[in-house]
Chains A and B, each alone.
Chain A
C-alpha cells in the first residue's frame, strides 16, 4: 500500500476510530493516543493490508483492543459527565430554553449509554452512531450474528425502557 492509498483509504476513518475509542475510554487524550497507535500499527502492517477484505473493520478491531489494553493497564478515571461531554450543537437560531433542553436531553442519554454493559454499548455505538452493517459489527467485535443482534436488541430495549421511565417520572 502506497502512502497515497493510505491517505485515501485509511486516514478518513480516523473520526470513526476516535469516536469508538472515546466511547470506550471516556477520555479525549487517551482516545487520541489510541488512534495514533492504530495508525502507526496499520502503516507498519501495510504490506498485508491488500489482502484484508475490510480495512475499516480491522482498524476498528485494533482500536477496540488497544482501548481495552489501556483500560486494563490502569483504570482510567472516568471524567465527570458535566465537564467530559461538551455537546457542540450548532444553535440554529434556537431559543436558549430549547438549546438548554437539548443539552440536558443529550446528557441524560449519554448517561444511559454509559450505564449499558460494555458489549451492548459498543454494538449500539457501531450500529446507531456510525452505521456499520451487522456483518461489519461481527468482524469488529469478533462476535457471531446472533450475539450482535441480541446485544443490540437488549441495548435498545434498555435505552427505551429508561427513556420511558425518564419521561414518566422525570428521573
Chain B
C-alpha cells in the first residue's frame, strides 16, 4: 500500500469522512508490520479497534436458548443468574459461619464445663470451712511476708527525703 495513500486516508479518517471500506483498509495497514515511524503513534489505535472486535462474550448459545425455552414453558424468567448466585453465596457464607460459631459456643458452655465449676468437692460444711480457712491463712501469711519486704522500701523513701533536704 502506498504511503501517500495511507496518509490521505488518515486525514480523511480524522475528518470522519472515510467509508467503511477505507476504514478497514486503514485497520489492515496498521495491523501489519509495515508501519513507518512517523505513523507509529496511531498504530495502536487501530490495533486496539481490531483487538476489541475480537473480544467475544462468554455466553454460550445453548445458555441463551435455554432461557428462551424456559420462558416458553411458562417458567419465571431466570435472568441474572450470576447476580443471584453471588447473592445466595453471600447468604450461605453467613449461615455457615453462624452454624460453626454456635457449635463452638455450645461446646464451650456445655453442661460438662459448667458442672466442673459447680461440682461439690466436700462432703460436710465443716470440712469446707476448714479448707477455706486454710486457704485464707496461707494467703494472709504470704501477704504478711510481702508487707515485711515492702517496709524496706520506706527506708529508701526516708533516705531520699533526707537528701532532698
**A-to-B contact residues, CB < 8 Å:** 3, 6-7, 11, 14-15, 17-19, 22, 28-29, 31-33, 35-37, 39-40, 43-44, 87, 89, 102, 105-106, 108-110, 113, 125, 127-131, 133, 149, 152-153, 156-157, 159-160, 163-164, 166-167
Set of chain A residues within 8 Å of B13, measured between Cβ atoms = 156
The 4 closest A-B pairs by CB, nearest first: A18-B57, A105-B44, A153-B16, A167-B41
Complex: how many Å from CA A44 to CA B80? 17
Complex: how many Å from CA A166 to CA B51? 20
Binary per-residue interface labels of chain B (44-55) against chain A in the complex, 1 for a CB within 8 Å, 0 otherwise = 110111011101
A-B pairs under 8 A by CB, number:
107
Q: Which of B43-84 contact A (CB under 8 A)?
A: 44-45, 47-49, 51-53, 55-59, 61, 63-65, 67-68, 71, 77, 79-80, 82-83
- Tell whether A33 pairs with B68 under 8 Å between CB atoms, given A106-B51, A153-B15, A156-B16: no
B68 touches which one: A14, A39, A109 (CB < 8 A)? Answer: A39
Return B81 CB to nearest CB of chain A, in Å: 8
Set of chain B residues within 8 Å of A87, measured between Cβ atoms = 51
Given contacts A110-B48, A153-B16, 11 further A-B contacts (CB under 8 A): A11-B65, A15-B57, A29-B83, A33-B82, A36-B63, A39-B64, A39-B67, A125-B52, A153-B15, A164-B41, A166-B41
Complex: how many Å from CA A19 to CA B71? 25
Return A63 CB to nearest CB of chain B, in Å: 11
Residue of B nearest to A29 (CB): B82
B67 touches which one: A6, A22, A36 (CB < 8 A)? Answer: A36
Main secondary structure of the interface of B (DSSP, over half): helix
**B-to-A contact residues, CB < 8 Å:** 13-16, 20, 23-24, 40-42, 44-45, 47-49, 51-53, 55-59, 61, 63-65, 67-68, 71, 77, 79-80, 82-83
Task: Identify 21 residue pairs between A and B in the complex whose beta-carbon atoms are under 8 Å apart, listed by A's number.
Answer: A14-B64, A15-B56, A18-B57, A32-B82, A33-B80, A37-B79, A39-B68, A40-B68, A43-B71, A105-B44, A106-B47, A106-B48, A110-B48, A129-B49, A131-B20, A153-B15, A156-B13, A156-B14, A159-B45, A163-B44, A167-B41
Residue of A nearest to B42 (CB): A163
Q: Which of B15, B44, B71 is most buried by chain A, counting CB atoms within 10 A of its CB?
A: B44
Complex: how many Å from CA A159 to CA B48? 12
Complex: how many Å from CA A149 to CA B64? 35
Complex: how many Å from CA A167 to CA B38? 11
Complex: how many Å from CA A89 to CA B50? 11
Residue of B nearest to A148 (CB): B16
A32 near B53 with CB under 8 A, answer: no
A36 near B64 with CB under 8 A, answer: yes
A128 near B23 with CB under 8 A, answer: yes
Complex: how many Å from CA A130 to CA B52? 9
Complex: how many Å from CA A164 to CA B42? 8
A18 near B48 with CB under 8 A, answer: no
Return A147 CB to nearest CB of chain B, in Å: 12
Set of chain A residues within 8 Å of B48, measured between Cβ atoms = 105-106, 109-110, 113
Complex: how many Å from CA A40 to CA B71? 8
